[in-house]
Every structure is written in C-alpha cells, then in structure tokens.
Structure 1
Amino acid sequence: MKVTKFSGELVHYDRQKLINSLRKSGANQTLAEKIVSEIESEMYEGIPSKKIYKKAFQLLKNCSNVHAARYNLRTALLGLGPAGFFFEKFIAKLMQDQGFHTKVNETLQGKCISHEIDVLLFKNEEVTMIECKFHSDQDAKSDVKVPMYILSRFNDIKEKQYNLFSEKRQISKCLIVTNSRFTSDAVQFGTCSGLNLLSWDYPQKKGIRELIDLLRVYPITCLTTLTKAEKEHLLILDCITIKDLVQNTDILKAIELSHNRIKNVIKEANQLLN
C-alpha cells in the first residue's frame, strides 16, 4: 500500500510509524492500535497522508483533546504563519524557558549592510543570533543555501559590538531554526561552518518536538477547543503559548468566548501543561 505525501510523492505506508506518532501524543498502545486498525479499514492505494492524519486526529480527539492537541503539534506550528513572525516569537518563548534572555526583531548595522535579526539570546555572557526559516508547506525542507546565506550575515556582524542586554557585546554564536526539516547537505554545511541548527527533528531527540514536550511550551495553535480565527486573534493579542493563556485567562473574554467555552479551553490548556 502506498500513500501520497503533502508534496505529491508516493511512499510506502508505514503502520509502525503511524502507531509511534499516536503513542507520542500520549495514547497508550491499545488505543493507538485501535485507531490505526480503523484507519486501515478505510485506506486505499495512493490515499493522501493528509487524509490519514485528519482521520487519526479526529479519532484521537474523540478520546482525548489533549492527545489530539499533542498529535496536532506539527500542524500547529504551521498555524504560526504564514509570514512566520509568530513563529519567531514562539521560538523566543521556547528559549526563555531554557533560561535565555531574548530580544525579537532587532535591526543591527553590520560591517557592510544592516540586518534584521529574528531573535537574539543572552545567557552565560554570550549573545547568540537566531535566524528563523518558516515553511508553510509541511514537507518543505531548508536546503544548503539557507545556512550558506545566514553564515554570510553572521560574518558581517560578529566582529562588531552592539548595545545588547544592557552592555556593549559581540554576537558570538548563530542558530538557524526551521519549523520543518533540513536537508543532509544543510546539516553538513552548518556543522562544518560552526553554525547551530534546530528543526522539527534535529538534533536527534533534541529537536523542536522534544523541546516542546520537555518544557511544556505548547503553541496556542495546538488547542482543539478553539477555532482557527480565535487562535489568530489570540496571536495578535500576543498570546503565543499555552502558558501565556494560563497566566492570563481573561484574554479569552477579549475574544468573546462564552463562559462554558472558556472553561473548556482552560481545562484543555491545564491538562497540556500537567
């Protein structure tokens, strides 16, 4: 049996891969196998992977909003687009929970030209610049041209001093972050050039997916109890993560949710964090 990926590529159906993705959402083995069996009963040659995902998401949601929210995580990151500005803010939040001080969207004059830096980090007397590469296509990959281009920008600013985090400081490190994946050439070039890379699944077992689960820094867009329009409204109000929401639940009144819906949203949010 073959399935059609988002990109149109035909690949062999992998039952264990689907079970594993359901298990990562929090579903136990019995529930995961039950959902997969139900999906397989409706499968056909060339079925779109998007259709499999939607069916799995709905079956999970019938059992647990929290499992569905975690299963929805990669799609939730796509909801931080289309321009990626909210993705940059989300990455800053993810870094704050690791003890970094952050600045978002700073413009710095390099040796040759000025540069808009997506995120700046400060920790242990070191400043790191982050360049975010947001893809609205789930199957898209950041190829070798991305680290090559960003390396040239890093080289243009790393020898200068800037007023950053209360003092004159130099930027000594560069991290490239994407919501999708890097090609093998991009990883090879980035590693060879001394750049740090972070993607959905890289570094292995330390990618964005693992960081989100470890730190419980879930994007607001993963909630199953809110509509797409409501999530977009919250993002505009600078409510980027579930933690932001839990710390300021009154913001749900600002988007005119009913009392019962507010209770349901807060319940799902707290379950995700706990």
Structure 2
Amino acid sequence: MKIQKNSGELVEFDARKLQNSLVKSGADQTTVSRILQQIQNQIFEGISTRQIYKTAIALLKKKSHSHAARYNLRQAIEQLGPAGFFFEKYIARLFSAEGFQTQTNLILAGKCVSHEIDVVVKKQDQCAMIECKFHAQRESVTDVKVPMYILSRFNDLKNQEHLLFDALCQIHHCWIVTNNRFSSDALRFGRCSGLHLLSWDYPEKSNLRDKIDADNLYPITCLTTLTLNEKNQLMEQNIILVKELLHQTSALDDIHLSANRIKNILKEARELCQQQL
C-alpha cells in the first residue's frame, strides 16, 4: 500500500513505524493495537501521511489528551515558527535545563565583522554559541552549506573576548541545532570540523527528541486543548514550556479562557509532564 508523504513522494506504508510512534505517545499496548488496527482498516492507496496523522491524533484524544500531545510533539516543534524566533527561545530552555546559563539574540563583534547569534550558553566558565536552523516543512534538510557557513562565523568569533553573563568570555564551542535532520554531508563536515550538531534524530542518543522526553521539556504548542492562536498568545507572554504554564496558570486568565477550559488545559499539562515512558 503506497501512502503520500508531505513532499508528495509515494512510499510503502510501514505499520511498524506508526506503531512505534503510538508507543512513544505513552499509550498502553491495548490502545496502540486498537488504533493501529483502526487506521489499517481505513487507509487506501495514495492516502496522505497528514490524514493518517490526523486520524491517529483524534483516536488518541479519545483515550487521553496527554497521549495525543506527546504524539503531536514533532508538529508542535514546527509550530514554534514561522520564522523560528520561539524555536530559539525553546532551545535556550533545553540548555538551561542542563545547567547552562543562556542568553538569546545577541550581536557579538568578531575579528572581522559583527555577528547576530541566536543563543549563547555558559557552564563552568566555558561559553558556546548556538545557531538554530528552524524548518517549518517536515521534509526540509539542513545541508552541508549551513555548517560550512557557521564554521566561518565561529572562527571569526572564537579568539575574541566578549562580555557575556557579566564577565569576559571567549566562545569555546559552536552548536548547530535543527528541528529536522542534517544531510549526510552536513554530519560529516560538522564532525570533522569539531562542531556540535543536534537534530530531531541526531546523535543517536541524546538527540532533540530524547532531551525533550528525558526532562519533560514539552513546548506549549504540544497541548491539544489550546488553539494555535492561544498558544501564540502564551508564547508572547514568554511561556514556552508546558512546565512553565503549570507555574504561571494566571496566564490562562490573561487570555480570557473560561474556568472549564482552564481546568481541561491544566489537566492535560499535568498529565503530560508527569508521564514517564
């Protein structure tokens, strides 16, 4: 059975891949098996992956909104656009959870020219720059030109002293983070050049997906009980993580939601953050 990807490419339907994504949602095996069977009964030649995704989300919601929220993670990251401004803030949150000090959207003077840097982090007197490559389209890939370009910027900055976190610090390391994938050449060049690369599925362990699940660092865009407009309003209030919403529940009053909706949103948020695989 051929299904159509977002790019328009036709590929064989892989039931195991769908099953694995349902398992990662946190749903129990009975629920996973039931949903998988229902979807297999409904698919037809040429059905889009988007339609399959929508069906899976709808079926998961009937069981648990928090399961649907976890299944929604990849798309939730894509909703941190369209320009990637909130994605940069989100990546800063991920590094902060690992004990780094973070700053976003800085202009630093290099040896030759000044550079706008997405995120700067510091731990144990070591500073690093992070360049975030956000893609709104699932099929987009970060190719080799990106690490080649960023390496030149890093080389211009790394031997200079910068006033960061109220102290002078040199840029010792460079990270490139993308919500999608790196091309094979980009990975080879990055590793060869000493750059640190982080994507949805790279490295094999401690990739973006692993980091999110390990510390419950789910973006607010995961929540299925919020509309897209409401998610954007919360991010404008600098609430990027679901965890942050649980500590700033008054933000839901600020966007004029009913008491019943607030109850349902917070229920989903609590279940999502307490869930352990």
Q: Within 2, Cα distance between the matches of 1:182 and 1:33?
A: 32
Gaps of 5+ in 1: none
How far has the Cα of 1:233 moved from its partner?
0.7
Residue in structure 2 matched with residue 127 of structure 1 by the alignment = 127
Q: Which residue matches 2:211?
A: 211
Distance 2:54 2:149 in 1: 36
Deviation of 1:205 after TM superposition, in Å, equals: 2.7
1:28-39 matched pairs, under 5 angstroms: 28-39=28-39
CA RMSD of aligned residues (A): 0.8
1:22 paired residue number: 22
Query: Unaligned stretches of 5+ in structure 2?
Result: none
Larger displacement relative to structure 2 (171-180 or 25-34):
25-34
Q: Would you identify which runs of 4 or more consecutive aligned residues in structure 1 move more than 3 Å?
A: none
Aligned to 1:86: 86
Paired residue for 1:167?
167
| Aligned-partner Cα distance in 1 for 2:165–2:100 | 11
Equivalent residue letter for 1:139: E
**Cα distance in 2, alignment partners of residues 206 and 50 from structure 1:** 27
For normalisation by structure 2, the TM-score amounts to 0.97
Instruction: Provide the residue aligned with 1:8 in structure 2.
Output: 8
Q: Which amino acid aligns with 2:50?
A: K
Matching of residue 67 in structure 1 with residue 76 in structure 2: no
User: What secondary structure is seen at the aligned counterpart in 1 of 2:239?
Assistant: coil
Cα distance in 2 between the residues matched to 1:114 and 1:9? 42
1:123 and 1:28 map into 2 onto residues whose CA distance is: 39
- What is the percentage of aligned positions where both structures have the same residue? 56
Name the amino acid aligned to 1:2. K
Structure 1 range deviating more: 96-105 or 200-209 = 200-209
Is structure 2 residue 170 aligned with structure 1 residue 141?
no
Deviations along 1:109-136, one digit per CA (max 9) or x if unpaired, are 1111111110001002110100000001
The one-character-per-residue Cα deviations of 1:62-85 (angstroms, maximum 9, x if unpaired) are 111010000000000011000000
> TM-score when scaled to structure 1?
0.98
Q: How many residues align?
A: 274
Cα distance in 2, alignment partners of residues 248 and 30 from structure 1: 35
Distance across 2 between alignment mates of 1:63 and 1:83: 34
Secondary structure class of the residue paired with 1:261? helix
The residue matched to 1:41 in structure 2 has which SS? helix
CA shift for structure 1 position 41: 1.0
